[in-house]
Structure 1
Amino acid sequence: MTDPEIDYRAVYNRLPAGIALLTPDLCYADANEAYLALAGRPFSQLAGRYIFDVFPDSPERAETANGPTSLGASFRHVLATRERDSLALQRYDVEVADKPGTYEERYWSTINTPILDSDGEVALIAHRVEEVTAFMRTKDKGAADRKLQAELYMRARELQEINERMRKAHAREREVALTLQAALLPAPQPVGHRAAVRYQPAVSALNVCGDWYDLVDLPDDRTAVAVGDVVGHGLTAACVMGQLRSALSAASRVTSGPAESLDALGLYARSVEGAESTTVVKAFIDWPSRTIAYSNAGHPPAALLHPDGTVDFLDQATDPPLGARPFHQPRPEARVGFTEGSTLVLYTDGLIERRREDIDVGLARLAAALGRRPGSDPETLADALLTELIPPTGATDDTALVVLRL
C-alpha cells in the first residue's frame, strides 16, 4: 500500500486562515483563498505589489494609526532575526475595493513567519491574518472593553518600540563593523605594478564584514595576493578577519610559496575562535619568470584574463577550507604562466553566487564579463565587474575584489 499523494496547493488554498506569501521586499508572491476573501480583492490586484501600496491605512488616521507601523516593524524583525513574530491585536483601516477613498474600520490578529532557503536566508514571509472585526464590534463598549483595547494598544506600541530598538542596534553594529573593516583593509601599494581593490558590503546589516584581501610586495620582484572569506558576519567576523589577514600577510613574508603560507595560516586558525571553515585563495606572482603559483583553501577560483579575452580559472590546487580536516595536512600548489598584459582577478562569493543558482552559472557570468574587457585598466575593470555582476538591489553577501594587471 502506498501513501496517498498530498496536493499541498489545494491544502494551502483551503486553509481557514488567510495566508499571503511575501518576498523579502514585502511584495505579494501568492495568497490563498481565505486571504483574498479578507482582502476583498482578486490576486491579480496583489501580485508583485508592495503590501503597503495595496493596503495603506486611512489618511484620516495618519497621526494615530499604529497598524502599518507595527506591521512594518514586525516584517523587519522577521527579516533581521529569521524568527516568527506575532502581533498584538491591530486596528488597520482598509480602503473599500469598489469605493476609492472610503475606508472601513477593521481589526486583525497577525503572525509573520520566515520561510528560509537552503542558505538559511529569508526567501519568503508567510503573512497570516485573522480578522476579528465582528468580535470587536459586538463587544460591549463599556469601560472594561475600553481598558482592554487600551492595553492591547500599549502592547502593540511596546512591540513596535522593541523592534525599532533592534533595528537601530543592527544599524549601529553594521556601522562599527564597516568602520573596522575599512581600517583593516588598506589601499594596495605593490611597487611598480597596477592593482585595484574593492570591498562592497551586503545590503543586510547582518551580512557584512567577513570578506578581506591582502597584497604584499616580496623580495626578488615577487608579489603575494590573497582574498578570503570568514564564516559569520558583523563585528565578530570583522575581528576574526583582521587576525587571519594579519597572520597570512606575515606568513607570506617568511614562506616560500602560497601553499606553505596557507599551511601556516591553517595552523594558526585552529587557535582563533570563529576561524573554522574560512576560505582563502593565495597566489605568489613571480614577475621576472611571468609565473603564478597558487593554492586554494575552499575558495572560488581566481580568474586569469588573457590579452585575447580568454579566461582561465585557476582550479588545479583546491583543498578544503581552514579547519575542515580533523588533522593538519599540507596544502597543494599549482603553477601557471602568463603573458604581459594579462589580468589576475581574485574575489569572494558575493560577486558570483546567487540563491537557487549553480555556482557554474556565476563563474560563466564572470568569465563573460571579463572576456569583454581584456584591455581595461584595473580600476575601470573593478568598477565594471561590481556594476555588472552585483544585482541593482544589492548583494545578499559582502564582496571583496582584487584586480591586478600582470
Structure 2
Amino acid sequence: MSITETNVTRELFDKVILPIYAPAQFVPVRGKGSRVWDQEGKEYIDFAGGIAVTALGHCHPVLVETLHKQSEKLWHVSNIFTNEPALRLAKKLTEATFADRVFFANSGAEANEAAFKLARYYATNTISPYKTKIIAFHHAFHGRTFFTVTVGGQPKYSDGFGPKPADIIHVPFNDLDAVKAVIDDHTCAIVVEPIQGEGGVMPATEAFLRGLRELCDEYQALLVYDEVQTGMGRTGKLFAYQHLDIVPDILTTAKALGGGFPISAMLTTETIAKAMKPGTHGTTYGGNPLACSVAEAAIDIINNDQLLQGVEQRHQWIVQKLEALNARHHIFTCIRGKGLLIGAQLAPEYSHRIREFIQVAAEHGVMLLSAGVDVLRFAPSLLISQDDIEQGMDNLQQAFAQVIGE
C-alpha cells in the first residue's frame, strides 16, 4: 500500500520509527508564528518552540523568503569548497562575540563534540600530553554522541553502550568547592551550561561562573560554555555569557541559530583555533549554504536591541501568569529561569504526574515541555505576542484544574 496523506497517522510512527521517542498523539502539520495546527485542524499555542529552536516562530516570512532564494542558487558544496553564506554568517558571529574563529556543524551535539575535541587537542599539543581531564556537572546535557553524552552528567543517557570515553569527572552544579577539589594541572577544560536546560532550567550563579573562569585561568584550562539552548537571544542577550563580564574560551550554539533549520556553530579565539590544522576535524554538511543563509537572516533579526529587550517583557508576562496560576492552584514550588527559558517546578505531590500535565495541556491546545523529572519548561518564540501568551495561559489554567481535580 502506498503512503498518502490520508494514511500518514500517529500510529505509523509506532511501525516505522526507531522506538527511542514517545511523541504526542497528535501530528502537527502547519505552523505560523506561535500557533500550530494538527491533522484534524485543531489549533495549539506553542510554548515549546521546538525545544527552544523556533526562536522567531513558525514560518517567519524573512526566513521563508531567504530559504527560497538560496534554494535556487546553491544547496551544497561540502567542505572541499567554501561558500558565501557561511562566510557572511561566520563574520557576523565573530563581530557579535568574543570569538575570532567559527566551526559550523548541524546539531548541538556536533558543535559540542568539536568543542571537547578542540579543548583536548589544544591542551595536549600546546601544554602537556597528559592534560586531558574534562570537568563537567551532574544533570548537564551536551548531546547524544558518545563523547558528548558522557560529558553530560546524566548516566541514564550514557549507560549501556560499553566503555565510555575516559578522564571525565562530574561534580555538583553551582558548587565551586567541588570543582576546586578535582581540578589540577591535568585538567584541559571545564564545560558548563549557563542555564542547565534538560537539568531542570537551573541557572548558574554569577559567583559560580566567575569562580570557574578564575580556576581555568589558574590551571591553564579552557572554559567551555554550552549555549546550545541559551544562545541566540533566548535569555535577552544574543548569548547568555554577555549578561556578565565572564568570557569563555569556547562557546557552542545551535537550536535557535537556524530558527528551525538544522545548523550549529562552535566559536573560539585565534589562539586556541590555531592549534588545529586541515584534517584535524571535519563535517560533510557543516557550513551548508541553505542552513547558513537562514541562520544569517535569523541573527540579523535577533541581534537587535528592541527584540532582545522584548524578551524580558515577555518573560515578565509569562512569569506573572504562572504566579497567578500558582496562587490559585498551588502546584509549583518555584519558577525560575531567564528570558524565555523558564522552568516551573512541580510541587512534590504532583512531580510524578509531569507527563499528565503536558498531555492534558495539549488536549487544551497548548504545546509544553518538560525539563528534568519535575519541571515544566517554557521556551516559546522570542516574538510571541501578549495575546498568544494570555490565551495559552488561560488554556493552561483549565488544563491544570482538570489534572488536579478542581
* TM-score bin (small chain): under 0.3
| TM-score (normalised: structure 1) | 0.24
1 or 2, which has the higher strand percentage?
1
Larger Rg: 1 or 2?
A: 1
